[in-house]
Structure 1
């Protein structure tokens, strides 16, 4: 087991902070290495240039002195003059050879102990602990009988090499220290720059059903992380809103189901309290069937809303004449309207692209809602008008005015618009929510207004040939062409 843990730890990738620190260190080391190599090569070339200049100067000096040897006296004085010229030049070795190759003058000859006999080019060699370079040239002494002299000059460059070696050591040490400092600074900068990510992690770990209101601060987030912080806060907003809707939905659903279930339990308990006849049991079963149908409708409506919220409703596929659907529904509800003493009027026309059965269901919910709340002797008006690339379908009825504070909540699930409107029916409060879901699935919007005893529910749908994604803003419809 310990081996597996070690293997897992070995395979664990480095953190982003560690990676950035390594990148900083590697970049700094590479940059400093290049700079060090360039600097070292420049110093080395400079020393080579100085050494070449020294060798050339010494050979020129020796050649000048040899050129002045035009007598035996001058030849005898040559060693002394060479010694005087080489005073203070402790790193220079000199040998003069006659035509037979015999050395007739030398200064610090130990430097030539291991010198290879290579003529005509610069030569490098070692003598004891010293590193030397040398050059030779042939001169002529202008004696009565001219004599050729081979001059060898050796230059000890050990001090240059020691200096270059010390420079390289210091460069390597400086590069190593600079790389470590760059890595440490990179680690600090990355840790500070990625601190918002740590706060995202801490916030995510602390989230729970009771702590969905926490948000990350956007004030100190760097530009590279600000988009992530905004997206994370937006996600929390959506999660909190969805959780709140789910909680409200669960509470509302439990509340709505409690009534029919309580009715079923009560009627069943009463039926079982004593022996009854077949007709009594049949009546109880019929009553229970009504409650079961109510529950089934509620469950079906909730499944429909769940499909709508998850984008599972059918896609629009056919051209729908809204006027035809409105007249068909007016005929269907005619008997109910006559029973309540209400008339239905349809005016206007408009075509949209969508699912005909779903649009009929949305209009049916509005019409049945209007009939339930319409005053006796009034007329429920269905008006259709097309303007600005959209079709507006409005259902208007006369009745109780809906308070303005309740208008935004009418299309929420299980909302009935207050106690005054709740008395007019036994619906579960899902019809308008279903209507909104259908309209939104078709790329449209729903509106409602209520004033002076008149309530108008309006559906705004893209006309044929206009996509939902590219629909224009709400059209301004003149009073003459606006639906009733």
Structure 2
């Protein structure tokens, strides 16, 4: 089943809400009119009872009492729809108007309990399909005779008015609900025009137009956060797309060099017959290129795991000072060859994966040694404070321009795009360091000046 559009939903809700409001209003209006009619009827009945009471009070003798029915007829002339019945103390019907019939319960209750038979005892009943509203009261003559007087009004005209009023109100509610639905549809469609404009803009975007942004001015207040959030998402997508394009280009460039070398070496080897030693030398050279490509592929797979949250560090106590000294032993020969000294101070212990942290430290040290001039020293400093362990890797060298610092941890990023990385790895080392640090809940930053370049790694100690 096709879901309703937002415009149709809002229009339907408007119609339902309007109908509920009108129904409640109509209910209270009908109650108010009914109460008004009831109050008018009570007032008229009270007046007639008072008139009849005065006639009974003036009947001081038998002659006056005998003339009382004629006086009642004269007093009730012209009051159509008014019925009166008088019952004496013996229960005999003493006086009645034509067509007057009262419920037996009304008369019995009044005779049985005269003190409770007051004007407040208003009742409603039907006779021959016509509704009546009436009451009964006890009257006494000056001689002490007790009579029960019942009086009622034919309220058929009230009932007819209320029925017609309910029909009109029902029709008015239906028409108002329909009008509200139509007007709600028009107003909602007009109100949602900015949203349709945003939708049209978004629908026209593609990978080639990620630099476009949604306009935030002129939008309703409710849509401005949506436009701002979407623009921020576009900025992230644009940045990710650019980096992905650059990443693909760098992969092609990095793989092209070893593949070209292998092809050249193979072509040279096949161009003429050679001795065993020459073939061995060519194979060793090819092996170096294979190892370089294997390292690159391994690093790329490692970063892919990091991107998908698949790096799950094993939690163990790692002594960073011991790991640093072990790496110094590993890099000692290469550092001596380049004339670079290695120094380490401080101590720190963190929970984490020892092999992963060792790899991060190894990449930082290799990067520092590679960019340190002969006769200089690479220094590693360890410290613990405030529940965090800090690792500083300092190396003297040429300052890195400030605009390049935020991108040093990007894959294949080069400070100098024209520079080739012959023998210097594929440019994924610092990206791997950042992924390892992130997996351990830490952070990494870099600063550079004419005196030194410093990498600062912060890891939680779990304390």
TM bucket (normalised to shorter chain) is 0.7 to 0.9
Paired with 1:384 and 1:154, the residues of 2 have a C-alpha distance of 105
Match of 2:258 among 248, 260, 264: 260
Preserved CA contact (<8 Å) 1:442 1:461: no
Map of 1:85-100 to 2, 5 A cutoff?
85-86=75-76, 88-92=78-82
Paired with 1:141 and 1:296, the residues of 2 have a C-alpha distance of 126
Preserved CA contact (<8 Å) 1:448 1:458: yes
Paired with 1:149 and 1:350, the residues of 2 have a C-alpha distance of 112
CA deviations on 1:266-315 (whole Å, 9 max, x unpaired) are 33333334455554444333322222211111111111122222222232
CA deviations on 1:88-143 (whole Å, 9 max, x unpaired) are 5344456889999899996xx4x55xx5785727675557x975556778978999
Paired with 2:322 and 2:207, the residues of 1 have a C-alpha distance of 49
CA deviations on 1:390-411 (whole Å, 9 max, x unpaired) are 3333333333333333333322
Match of 1:459 among 431, 448, 456: 456
Tell me which residue corresponds to 1:4: none
Q: Give the deviation of 1:153 after TM superposition.
A: 5.4
Tell me which residue corresponds to 1:3: none
Structure 2 residue matching 1:457: 3-state secondary structure:
strand
The alpha-carbon distance between structure 1 residues 398 and 86, as it changes in their structure 2 partners (threshold 3 A), is: closer
The alpha-carbon distance between structure 1 residues 123 and 300, as it changes in their structure 2 partners (threshold 3 A), is: closer
Paired with 2:80 and 2:215, the residues of 1 have a C-alpha distance of 74
Tell me which residue corresponds to 1:352: 350
Paired with 1:135 and 1:410, the residues of 2 have a C-alpha distance of 99
Tell me which residue corresponds to 2:305: 307
Preserved CA contact (<8 Å) 1:120 1:135: no
Match of 2:167 among 169, 174, 178: 169
Tell me which residue corresponds to 2:12: 22
The alpha-carbon distance between structure 1 residues 425 and 73, as it changes in their structure 2 partners (threshold 3 A), is: closer
Unaligned stretches of 5+ residues in structure 2: 109-122
CA deviations on 1:425-467 (whole Å, 9 max, x unpaired) are 4422112222222222223333333333x4323232225335x
Structure 2 residue matching 1:175: 3-state secondary structure:
helix
Structure 2 residue matching 1:352: 3-state secondary structure:
strand
The alpha-carbon distance between structure 1 residues 116 and 361, as it changes in their structure 2 partners (threshold 3 A), is: closer
Q: Give the deviation of 1:202 after TM superposition.
A: 4.6
The alpha-carbon distance between structure 1 residues 306 and 74, as it changes in their structure 2 partners (threshold 3 A), is: closer
2:32 is the counterpart of 1:35: no
Paired with 1:141 and 1:419, the residues of 2 have a C-alpha distance of 125
Paired with 2:124 and 2:325, the residues of 1 have a C-alpha distance of 114
Paired with 1:390 and 1:96, the residues of 2 have a C-alpha distance of 104
The alpha-carbon distance between structure 1 residues 117 and 227, as it changes in their structure 2 partners (threshold 3 A), is: closer
Q: Give the deviation of 1:253 after TM superposition.
A: 0.8
Preserved CA contact (<8 Å) 1:96 1:105: yes
Unaligned stretches of 5+ residues in structure 1: 1-10, 467-484
- Tell me the TM-score normalised to structure 1 length: 0.75
Paired with 2:139 and 2:213, the residues of 1 have a C-alpha distance of 92
Preserved CA contact (<8 Å) 1:394 1:456: no
CA RMSD of the aligned region, Å? 4.1
Map of 1:239-388 to 2, 5 A cutoff?
239-388=237-386
Paired with 1:410 and 1:44, the residues of 2 have a C-alpha distance of 84
Paired with 2:395 and 2:214, the residues of 1 have a C-alpha distance of 48
The alpha-carbon distance between structure 1 residues 381 and 134, as it changes in their structure 2 partners (threshold 3 A), is: closer
CA deviations on 1:336-382 (whole Å, 9 max, x unpaired) are 22222332233332222222222222222222223223222333333
Preserved CA contact (<8 Å) 2:397 2:453: no
The alpha-carbon distance between structure 1 residues 425 and 286, as it changes in their structure 2 partners (threshold 3 A), is: closer
Tell me which residue corresponds to 2:118: none
Q: Give the deviation of 1:249 after TM superposition.
A: 0.9
The alpha-carbon distance between structure 1 residues 334 and 140, as it changes in their structure 2 partners (threshold 3 A), is: closer
